[in-house]
Structure 1
Amino acid sequence: MVDYLIFLAILTSTFSLLALGLNLQWGFTGLINFGHVGFMTLGAYVTVLLSLKGVHMLIAILVGASIAALLGLIIGLSTLRLRTDYLAIVTIGLGEVIRLVINNQELPVGDNWISGVFGVQNYPIPLVIIQPNIFLRIFMIGLLTLLGIVTIFALYTWVSSAKKQLKTFIGKHSIYQQEFLSRLIISIFLGLLLLAVYISGVISLYNYTPKAGLLLLCLLVLAFVFWRLEIALRSPWGRVLKAIREDEEVAIALGKNVFWYKIQSLMLGGAIAGVAGAFFAWQLSAIYPDNFQPQLTFDCWIMVILGGSGNNIGSLLGTVIFFTYNTLTREFLPRIFTQLSVEQLGAFRIMFIGLVLITMMVWRPQGILGKKEELTLDK
């Protein structure tokens, strides 16, 4: 049970990074990217192949993120002059082209060249070879505890801000009451999940397993990326991105280089997705081109839409909800619908999440935490 929770926590953290990258591109800048998995693919393969060549994994992941950012630059220079719908078509095609090229290309795996269709295995994974002593294990547990405390404090601050609004704006009492209650429920939900992950992490770190070390590393990177994005998006740079999303003609009239800001958004979002790809590869321990199907991009879109576009906390919430649903239906549906085959159960799960998404679009098109006035679906 503990190992399974660690696995789910790593997967959720990895896709939270992926969702943050997409939210930057679409939620804050209004760029429709249907090939987001292409950035993830490049980050994964570049990191893994460099690691097999003896490159330190920290350098490998930075190079992988840089190559993914370079892809964003290439896409931007070649497609941002196009209209939004054409940009979507080009990106989904490019994401699939990257996967097919890797599938049909020979890759430099160590000292040999191996066909991409056979995948890449037996590559280095962070913190596998170390055998931490008791002091290092306590230090790692302390880092995990610190992350948990910071997260709880952030959730408390988030709920408290809604409570202050509730006390201040008496004229719109019902609106702010609903906001406060929703934040309180979400915080309790996330807090309970955090507690389960924390307990599993402490157990696995004390009785050290490599996956526990990978979880700690992934959570640290996720916390750092989230923190820096929040600061950047509240700065003048972030406000320009929002202005471009709402009406880029206004931003142009104010003297902003809209094209360059879009390039920056694509590159930074792509780099974040590249980092997510590295963690995805490290968790799988073996990667194949079919691990990077277009479905991953649309799963990421579901996460961002569910949580609310233009809201980083919403992206994290949408990812948690998506994998909670995914896990619960995988575990309990076979026990409820015993007459259905595995293929039918898989189709049912996809159909049901589609129904949830349709209902969400009708009832609350801005997502759980999104703001309706900032909705980008109609841009």
Structure 2
Amino acid sequence: MTSYLLFVATIAGVYALLGLGLVLIWGQTGLVNLGLAGFFALGAYASALLTKNLPIPIALGWLAAIALTALVGLALTWVTRSMRGDYLAIMTLSFAEVIRLVAVNEAWLTNSIDGISAIPAPLRAALGDQFNLFYFAMTWAVVGVAYLLVRRLIDAPFGRMLRAVRDDDQVAAVAGKAVLGFKVKAFMVGSALAGLAGALYAHFTAFIGPDLFTPLITIYIFLAVTAGGYTRPAGAIVGALFVNFLLEGTRFGADHISGLSGLQIASLREIVIAAALIALMHLRPQGLLPERVRHASLNRTRPNNESH
């Protein structure tokens, strides 16, 4: 039971990393990125292939995953620079599906639907039964560092500029700001976090395949960020824990229901999850942690030379 809980908590940490990237791209910059599963897959495959086939140290595999997904994020942002709203969402969703189809069809590289197994993990053999605890702690340490990074970016002038672009990019452009540059930087950082999440996932589960990177992953992350508060890094973490609790809690509840087929139980789980999220959005439309409105302070003191 302990190993299972550690496994679930580690996957929640992976989801939190994805959520932090989405907060920066969507919550702060206003870019609707439905391609999270694609960056997640890219990071997983890049690190798995490099560390298994070359081989190279796992840490270098993670760095390679970060670099690759950041560069792909740069390219995708440049290609879609004139798109916004629904068009951008469709384009990024198509990108994720292209990545999945490449993983299915390029068997020479990805082993197709059979996937890649026996992916090395740090200290797995040495730690034995303690590996899950070690990886849980390491994953959440990475989440903590990523949280501090995203929080610092948001609180800095860079973050204020991102919110200006989100609220009205034309006004920001008229003010002389490089709107495209800010969008590119935010998308690159968010994509890199998704790639790192994929790398952590691959080395934890020791197996990846195309079926693990469906659009459902993106939906879960959007639900998590929306539930937690899509503009705040803490909201991504709280939302990831909340959604994972729903997913696993309904799984346990379904085991005690008799007289239903596996398909019916799966459908019932999705209904319960949807109902819980709808109720949350009705009660807390801004999420569990709504955006903090920053008010400019007014200096009410009069200058010394002001005439009376």
- TM-score w.r.t. the length of structure 2 is 0.90
Q: Kindly provide the CA deviation profile for residues 152-183 of structure 1, in whole angstroms up to 9, marking residues without a partner as x.
A: xxxxxxxxxxxxxxxxxxxxxxxxxxxxxxxx
| Residue 59 of structure 2: aligned partner | 58
How far is 1:123 from its partner? 1.9
Q: 2:172 aligns with which of 246, 251, 260?
A: 251
How far is 1:258 from its partner? 0.6
Is residue 117 from structure 1 mapped to residue 118 from structure 2 by the alignment? no
Instruction: Give the letter for the 2:73 counterpart.
Output: G
| Residue 12 of structure 1: aligned partner | 12
How far is 1:285 from its partner? 1.1
Structure-2 separation of matches of 1:79 and 1:100:
21
How far is 1:209 from its partner? 1.9
Matches for 1:266-285 after TM superposition, within 5 Å: 266-285=187-206
| Residue 105 of structure 1: aligned partner | 106
DSSP-derived class of the 1:371 partner = coil
Matches for 1:145-156 after TM superposition, within 5 Å: none
Matches for 1:204-353 after TM superposition, within 5 Å: 209-335=130-256, 337-353=257-273
Distance 1:345 1:208, change over 3 A: closer
How far is 1:363 from its partner? 3.7
| Residue 44 of structure 1: aligned partner | 44
How far is 1:372 from its partner? 8.9
How far is 1:43 from its partner? 0.2
Structure-2 separation of matches of 1:208 and 1:116:
31
Instruction: Give the letter for the 2:179 counterpart.
Output: V
Is residue 129 from structure 1 mapped to residue 49 from structure 2 by the alignment? no
| Residue 365 of structure 1: aligned partner | 285
2:247–2:273 CA contact under 8 A, matched in 1 = no
Stretch moving more, 86-95 or 117-126 = 117-126
2:227–2:281 CA contact under 8 A, matched in 1 = no
2:44–2:199 CA contact under 8 A, matched in 1 = yes
Distance 1:57 1:304, change over 3 A: same
How far is 1:373 from its partner? 7.1
Structure-2 separation of matches of 1:28 and 1:356:
26
Q: Kindly provide the CA deviation profile for residues 336-368 of structure 1, in whole angstroms up to 9, marking residues without a partner as x.
A: x32222211111111222223333444432211
1:305–1:318 CA contact under 8 A, matched in 2 = yes
Unaligned residue ranges in structure 2 (runs of 5+): 295-308
1:366–1:372 CA contact under 8 A, matched in 2 = no
Is residue 354 from structure 1 mapped to residue 274 from structure 2 by the alignment? yes
Structure-2 separation of matches of 1:233 and 1:6:
31
1:127–1:214 CA contact under 8 A, matched in 2 = no
Distance 1:101 1:346, change over 3 A: same
Aligned-residue CA RMSD (Å) = 1.7
Distance 1:107 1:227, change over 3 A: farther
Instruction: Give the letter for the 2:151 counterpart.
Output: E
Structure-1 separation of matches of 2:174 and 2:280:
36
Structure-1 separation of matches of 2:292 and 2:135:
37
2:119–2:202 CA contact under 8 A, matched in 1 = no
Structure-2 separation of matches of 1:246 and 1:18:
23
Structure-2 separation of matches of 1:79 and 1:301:
21
Matches for 1:175-214 after TM superposition, within 5 Å: 209-214=130-135
2:25–2:187 CA contact under 8 A, matched in 1 = yes
Structure-2 separation of matches of 1:373 and 1:339:
51
Stretch moving more, 296-305 or 121-130 = 121-130
Instruction: Give the letter for the 1:29 counterpart.
Output: T
Structure-2 separation of matches of 1:264 and 1:276:
19
How far is 1:370 from its partner? 1.7
Is residue 78 from structure 1 mapped to residue 74 from structure 2 by the alignment? no
1:21–1:270 CA contact under 8 A, matched in 2 = yes
1:43–1:64 CA contact under 8 A, matched in 2 = yes
- TM-score w.r.t. the length of structure 1 is 0.74
Unaligned residue ranges in structure 1 (runs of 5+): 109-113, 132-206, 375-379
1:334–1:340 CA contact under 8 A, matched in 2 = no
Stretch moving more, 360-369 or 59-68 = 360-369
Instruction: Give the letter for the 1:126 counterpart.
Output: P
| Residue 30 of structure 2: aligned partner | 30
Instruction: Give the letter for the 1:3 counterpart.
Output: S
